[in-house]
Chains A and B, each alone.
Chain A
């Protein structure tokens, strides 16, 4: 069994409550007793919500879906860190064994102008979809493809592209950044496609369009503090930002319509 299996915690939770996008929010304090260390952080929230409903109070709204760390929907800012204190995991994969009895835990939504709060801990990340729609693809219609093994791709290139493509689009990078920059997210997609032969044809126009859309959405600039990489639950590397900057420079200088 895991360390401290069967142990229970008593906790104080300070949770951000906000009725809707326009309302002013504030922290609400809750006491929780007997939280098993085997629970996930979101299961702890389920327990809290059940308690609230029984007391006749409205449950706390938060985004979550797959609860196995891959859909990218969960998004809590826990004790000043996106996805909480443990490196390399999403909030849904954070377990209560990472906390101690008597802890006070502060939970906020993602904080970024480009991600307006919908309610309580849920935010609107549709800006990411619009960035993808601006150029995060290879223009190939269904049915046009040649045999998959016709173009050889060195394993290293495929692995690097996969490393960038592992991004789950959760937005932790933006929430972690003091500038609210989306550079890590955008550069992951730009890198994935720049590394593969299939992405070459649109390589220049893609980076120009995606960066322009990123700016339009109100994300801040990158000042190389690296908080995004440190907080990314999927270990997306800062190298991608460096690569995107090179791609952008090169495309800006040479791309002609």
Chain B
């Protein structure tokens, strides 16, 4: 029998959530006050969950490694958030958002979860606006929308190129309100190092105070991991420098299955790598593809300036290959197409590993509209471009500034140079419909779980999922487990050594503290010759080259061997200086890199095992004649949930994916 029970409610897809929500067990207000919930991570999922649960009356503690919860990497999301509001009267609906997300995920996501996501999407927008989030508006005072990849409706809400910032600050303000009223205890500059389980049930966490180095024990009736994705396994990614897999990985080693680790999203529009020194990559929002046209020269190794290349010698390859969606094809498709052109020798810039994202055409279009609006007849080209630039600036000003800052080039004058970069990870901890992992009482929300995006996430859906999980799913589904906890607590009321009396005095906490203290001391005493950073860089290179945009069997086999060798070298030759009892960023990073190395091996193993191409997972052996991803629905329509069995040992568990509402088909954006 499968170890996986997804707990999907019975019934029609459109009624599952509503019905379930109204029948699931509740916890009465008095009992909520005695239930403690630990929330790890303070991004959109973590902040929204913590605030909502505290409002309901639970005792909540929030942990984040940054100096303030407001700095979580959700803050950097640029383009927008999807919701099936149909405010534009363009045919959007819950079903259409559901359908687009399943199709965009290349038919590898769980139908019931995705439908629920589409259902609650509208409430998210309502909630954020009520909090005072200043989303973009039209002159009539109504909310504005724009388009994103993989859809043909305008359902994306935004705040210039800073949507993630505004939504996170909204959730953060809700969180701070609860901190201010004493319902949430905030533990900033704390890093979770382990989950404490007793008899297979989650009872708390061990967190290191990053300022003092102290190991702290925290008891909780439930633990919510809202710790984001693992894109930094690639070293270079658009993630923040501190984004890491440690909390999820430690949970994995305590019994939480890790699902689909090989599903990683390589975002098509990022600023290309400029040199060896580079520490991170910067995204240029997908929203730019609304007005930017992607092209390369039709001649190989064309060294002319972009502006000197005439129209007829430009290959708008996305518009050519995918006329129906054009520049707005999903991310995996756009990324592979860019790689294909560059590998074939048509790339631009010094490295030849870049393509153009050109705003001239639409700048002119906007300019002409503006001229008409202002009654300027027969405007000159300069006049048109000047007017058009004003419009473009209003829409994307901060992104253009950022581009100029990093590259030293002015994107109002010359096309941007872009190349795909690691951006998001669809894989993550396996969760059931309640968002519980395979460890009782341990939950995963937002990017940290695997559930909603299948093998490829559509743009503007990450913010939607993080907030859906935190505001509108976990407040209900957590009660299913906690109501049972209330029953247990009452039954064990007179037991002298019950966990409710012992809490962090239970010996399991002391054991966990000792393990983590020993680990920290291990890092500090290896006293090798190579920096933590250098190991991270080498790991990233292996994974990018062999488990990146394209993968093949031999490459993955080699990568696994290389990663295993790197792990041995790390544990015998890493150099970490300073002490355990102080603020020591290098020591923090050592732990994170150690976990990335282990995860890297599992990613390659998962990619090797999945003998098909789907979404972000592209196996060179499995492609159509036109170079599109070729799925194998007969053999691989499942979630690969890996169970940790020891160093380099995992057991594969499969959750079959059933498509009862959407006809599974070859994905086409032509």
Given A65-B241, A129-B186, A149-B143, A193:B66 Cβ within 8 A? no
**Cβ A152 vs Cβ B578 within 8 A:** no
Q: Shortest distance in angstroms between A163's beta carbon and chain B's nearest beta carbon? A: 9
The stretch of B12-20, B134-142, B488-496 in contact with A is: B134-142
Chain B count of residues within 8 A CB distance of the other chain: 85
Q: Are A71 and B73 in contact (CB under 8 A)?
A: yes
Q: Interface centre among B131, B405, B584, by most A CB within 10 Å?
A: B405
**Residues 270-311 (chain B) with a chain A CB within 8 angstroms:** 274-275, 277-280, 282-283
Residues in A neighbouring B68, C-beta threshold 8 A: 125-126, 128-129, 169
Is the CB of B531 closer than 8 A to any CB of chain A? yes
**Contact among A70, A119, A144 with B130 in the assembled complex (CB-CB below 8 Å):** A144
Find A129's partner among B136, B188, B238, B533 (CB 8 Å cutoff). Answer: B188
B76 interface residue (CB < 8 Å to A): yes
Would A145 and B275 be within 8 Å (CB), given that A59-B586, A138-B130, A152-B141 are in contact? Answer: no
Q: With a CB–CB cut-off of 8 A, which chain A residues contact B69? A: 129
Which residues of chain A (135-166) have a CB below 8 Å from chain B? 135-149, 151-155, 158-159, 161-162, 165-166
Stretch at the interface among A50-58, A172-180, A218-226, A245-253: A50-58
Contacts of A136 in B (CB 8 A): 173, 176
A132 contacts across to B, CB distance below 8 A: 70, 172-173, 176
Given contacts A152-B142, A161-B132, A165-B134, contact A65 B577 (CB under 8 A): no
**Is B179 part of the contact surface with A, judged by Cβ < 8 Å?**
yes
Are the C-beta atoms of A1 and B127 separated by less than 8 Å? no
Would A38 and B188 count as touching, CB distance under 8 A?
no
Q: Please encode chain A, from 89 to 133, with 1 for each CB lying within 8 Å of some chain B CB and 0 for all others.
A: 100010101000000000000000000001100101110110011
Complex CA–CA separation, A50 to B69 (angstroms):
29
Stretch at the interface among B161-169, B363-371, B512-520, B600-608: B161-169
Taking A65-B242, A152-B141 as contacts, is the C-beta distance between A59 and B129 under 8 angstroms? no
Q: Inside 8 A of A146's CB, which chain B residues have their CB?
A: 126, 130
Cβ B173 vs Cβ A118 within 8 A: no
Is the CB of B635 closer than 8 A to any CB of chain A? no
Residues of A within 8 A of B211 (CB): 118
Contact with A along B67-86 (1 / 0, CB 8 A): 11111010110000000010
Q: Which of A3, A88, A125, A153 contacts B67 (CB 8 A)?
A: A125
* Shortest distance from the beta carbon of A156 to any chain B beta carbon, whole Å: 9
Given the interface pairs A3-B408, A66-B73, A133-B177, the reply to whether A122 lies near B141 with Cβ below 8 Å is no
Which of A49, A141, A166, A198 is close to B55, meaning CB atoms less than 8 Å apart? A141
Check if A67 sits within 8 Å of B241, measured CB to CB.
yes
Taken together as a complex, chains A and B put the C-alpha atoms of A145 and B73 apart, in Å, by: 26
The answer to whether B583 and A155 touch across the interface, beta carbons within 8 angstroms, is: no
Cβ B282 vs Cβ A68 within 8 A: yes
B571-587 CB contacts (< 8 Å) to partner A: 575, 577-578, 582-586
Measured CA separation A68–B55 after assembly (Å) = 33
When the two chains form the complex, which single residue of B75, B173, B582 contacts A70, counting CB atoms closer than 8 Å?
B75
Given contacts A143-B123, A145-B126, whether A63 and B165 have CB atoms under 8 Å apart is no
| C-alpha spacing A118/B209, complex, angstroms | 13
Q: Which of A66, A149, A169, A193 makes the CB contact (< 8 A) with B87?
A: A149
Whether A169 contacts B131 in the complex (CB less than 8 A), given A142-B52, A143-B123, comes out as no
| B95-134 interface with A by 8 A CB criterion | 123, 125-134
In the bound complex, do residue A126 and residue B188 qualify as a contact, i.e. CB atoms below 8 Å apart?
Answer: yes
Which range holds the interface residue count of chain A? 35 or more
**Smallest distance from the beta carbon of B469 to chain A beta carbons, Å?**
12
Instruction: Say if the beta carbon of A196 comes within 8 Å of chain B.
Output: yes
- B408 contacts A158, CB within 8 Å? no
How long is the Cα–Cα vector from A56 to B531 in the complex, in angstroms? Answer: 10
Contact B582 A119 (CB under 8 A): yes
Check if A192 is an interface residue, CB within 8 A of chain B. yes
A192 / chain B contacts, CB cutoff of 8 Å: 132, 134
Cα A75 to Cα B51 with chains together (Å): 28
For A89, list chain B residues within 8 Å (CB): 405
Min CB–CB distance A140 → chain B (angstroms): 5
Distance of A190 from chain B, by nearest CB (Å): 11
Instruction: Give bound CA distance, A154 to B240, whole Å.
Output: 35
B137 touches A66 (CB 8 A): no
- Contact: A153 with B137, CB < 8 Å? yes
A68 touches B402 (CB 8 A): yes
Q: A71 to B76, Cβ gap below 8 A?
A: yes
B131 cross-chain contacts in A, Cβ below 8 A: 137-138, 140, 198
CB distance from B52 to the nearest CB of A (A): 4
Hey, which chain A residues are within 8 Å of B177, CB to CB? 133, 137, 139
Q: What chain A residues lie within 8 Å of B136 (beta carbons)?
A: 158, 162
Interface residue? B180 (CB, 8 A) = yes
Residues of B within 8 A of A88 (CB): 401
Known: A61-B583, A132-B176, A142-B52. Contact between A66 and B76, CB under 8 A?
yes
Nearest chain-A residue to B188 (Cβ)?
Answer: A126
Question: Is B375 among interface residues, defined by CB-CB distance under 8 A?
Answer: no
Query: Is B409 an interface position by the 8 A CB rule?
Result: yes
Determine whether A134 belongs to the interface, using a CB cutoff of 8 Å to chain B: yes
Give every chain B residue within 8 A of A128 (Cβ-Cβ).
68
Q: Does A64 contact B (CB under 8 A)?
A: yes
Q: Determine the distance from Cα of A40 to Cα of B271 in the docked complex, in whole angstroms.
A: 14
Residues of B within 8 A of A5 (CB): 408
- Decide if the interface of chain A is mainly helix, strand, loop or mixed: loop
In the assembled complex, the Cα of A230 lies from the Cα of B136 at a distance in Å of 26
Q: How many residue pairs between the two chains, A and B, have CB atoms under 8 Å in the bound complex? A: 235
B585 adjacent to A61 (CB under 8 Å): yes
B578: A residues at CB distance < 8 A: 58-59
Residue of B nearest to A42 (CB): B279
Is residue A46 within 8 Å, beta carbon to beta carbon, of the partner chain?
A: yes
Q: Which residues of B contact A62 (CB under 8 A)?
A: 585
Does any Cβ of B come within 8 Å of A69's Cβ? yes
Interface status of A241 (Cβ within 8 A of chain B): no
Residues of B within 8 A of A119 (CB): 582-583
Query: When A68-B282, A95-B406, A126-B188 are in contact, do A38 and B73 touch as well, CB less than 8 Å?
Result: no
Is B542 part of the contact surface with A, judged by Cβ < 8 Å? Answer: no
* Interface membership of A73, Cβ < 8 A: yes
Shortest B576–chain A CB gap in Å is 9
Tell me if A147 and B405 are in contact (CB < 8 A).
Answer: no
- The A-contacting residues of B in range 167-193, CB under 8 angstroms, are 169, 172-174, 176-177, 179-180, 186, 188
Q: In whole Å, how far is B270's beta carbon from the nearest beta carbon of chain A?
A: 11
Does any Cβ of B come within 8 Å of A72's Cβ?
yes
**Chain A contacts of B179 at CB under 8 A?**
129, 133
Give chain B residues whose Cβ lies under 8 Å from the Cβ of A154.
137, 141
B162-A40 in contact (CB<8A)? no
Are A166 and B162 within 8 A (Cβ)?
yes
Q: Is the CB of A147 within 8 A of B126?
A: yes
Q: Closest Cβ of chain A: how far from B305's Cβ, in Å?
A: 11
Q: Contact between A118 and B577 (Cβ–Cβ < 8 Å)? A: no
Q: Do A162 and B132 touch across chains, with their CB atoms under 8 A apart? A: no
Say yes or no: is B481 at the interface (Cβ < 8 Å to chain A).
no
A138 proximity list for chain B (CB < 8 A) = 130-132, 173
Do residues A199 and B132 form an inter-chain contact, with CB atoms below 8 A? yes
Question: Contacts of B531 on A, CB cut-off 8 Å?
Answer: 50, 53-54
For the complex, give the distance between the alpha carbons of A152 and B76 in Å. Answer: 28
B162-A70 in contact (CB<8A): yes
| Nearest B residue to A158, CB-CB | B137
Closest to A47 in B: B277
Beta-carbon nearest neighbor of A56 in chain B: B577
Is A142 in contact with B408, judged by CB distance below 8 angstroms? Answer: no
In the bound complex, CA of A84 to CA of B435 (Å): 45
Cβ of A20 under 8 Å from chain B: yes
Beta-carbon contact of A53 and B408 below 8 Å: no
The 27 sampled A-B contact pairs (Cβ below 8 Å) are A3-B408, A46-B279, A49-B533, A53-B533, A56-B577, A57-B577, A59-B585, A65-B240, A68-B282, A70-B162, A71-B71, A72-B70, A93-B402, A93-B406, A95-B406, A97-B408, A118-B583, A122-B67, A126-B67, A136-B176, A142-B48, A142-B52, A142-B475, A145-B129, A165-B166, A169-B68, A198-B129
Q: Which 3 A-B pairs have the closest CB atoms?
A: A2-B408, A152-B141, A133-B180
